[in-house]
Amino acid sequence: MTETASRPDAPCGEPEMDPAAGERLSAILLEPDCVPGLWASVDSGEMDRLVPELLALRMEQDPIHRHKDVLSHTIAVVAKTEPEITVRLAALFHDIAKPRTRSFEHGGVTFRHHEVVGARMARTRLTAMGYSDGVVDDVCEMVRLSGRFKGYAEGWSDAAVRRYARDAGPLLGRLNHLIRCDCTTRNRDKAAGIQALMDDLEARIAELAEEARMAAERPGMDGAAVMAHLGIGPGREIGEALAFLLALKRSEGDLERSELEARLDVWWAERG
């Protein structure tokens, strides 16, 4: 690997392809207890070849995690995650851009948009290490979304909760697991509060999903509309008509109102 490719602050140029580096990093990360291997790789200088951007975290003090530098925090997060490669890679890279995004312009030190920058850095490095497109895409998306939960304590609307779940898609479970593991504070009350917030978010996601499922199960016309169209009053026929319309929706999806009324007319006429 060239000197430019190995410098974490290199202004240009892509790292050289090194699939063996990816195999070695995976071997370290997938150990049930990956902490000794990670620190050994850092201390021996091996990590400078595998993920050179990681070494800059050792000198970065995060004001949120005052008791440790960002590298120590990162390894602590990785250690808490389940031994699944996309989750552990996302944990390893979730703060990778903090040295590049550090700013003192907004009152104290900030790392604005470090998740977005980190996702780009992760894509470049992981692609060069020979990881598959699927793994790279999943890791980068988890890194990009890893900071969004921080705003939940300020209050999210139902629309914001739905958007979070929609954006995470099939990664939702792994993303939430990563966010839970990102809490490494020694303050038990603070840690419990963060976990409680995630519990609340997951409960709301489940509730909204159930509401959406039930809404999808409603027929295209309600009872009042059926009575008005057929010119009849309440009775068992209305329930049967709604059951017919629901079966129609399940088999053919959402239809235009005019088409529903035409089908209802045919059904009603066949009943005599």
pLDDT in tens, 72-112: 999 999 999 999 999 999 999 999 999 887 766 666 666 67
Among 110-119, 197-206, 220-229, 261-270, the minimum mean pLDDT is found in 110-119
Residues 189 and 77 in one domain: no
Residues 187 and 106 in one domain: no
Final residue of a structural domain among 124, 146, 168: 146
Residues 258 and 126 in one domain: no
Full-model pTM: 0.75
Judge whether residue 49 has pLDDT over 90.
yes
Determine contact, residues 127/102, Cβ cutoff 8 Å: no
Final residue of a structural domain among 128, 146, 164: 146
Residues 133 and 101 in one domain: yes
Residues 8 and 134 in one domain: yes
What percent of the chain has a predicted confidence (pLDDT) above 70?
88
Judge whether residue 181 has pLDDT over 60.
yes
- Look at residue 166 in the predicted model and tell me its pLDDT: 96
The chain-wide mean pLDDT, for the chain, equals 88
Residues 3 and 138 in one domain: yes
CA distance 91 to 69: 15
- C-alpha neighbours within 13 Å on the C-beta side of residue 102: 15
Number of domains in the chain: 3
Residues 29 and 142 in one domain: yes
Residues 80 and 112 in one domain: yes
Final residue of a structural domain among 146, 171, 192: 146
Residues 113 and 161 in one domain: no
Residues 58 and 137 in one domain: yes
Residues 124 and 254 in one domain: no
Residues 240 and 108 in one domain: no
Domain assignment of residue 245, given as a range: 223-270
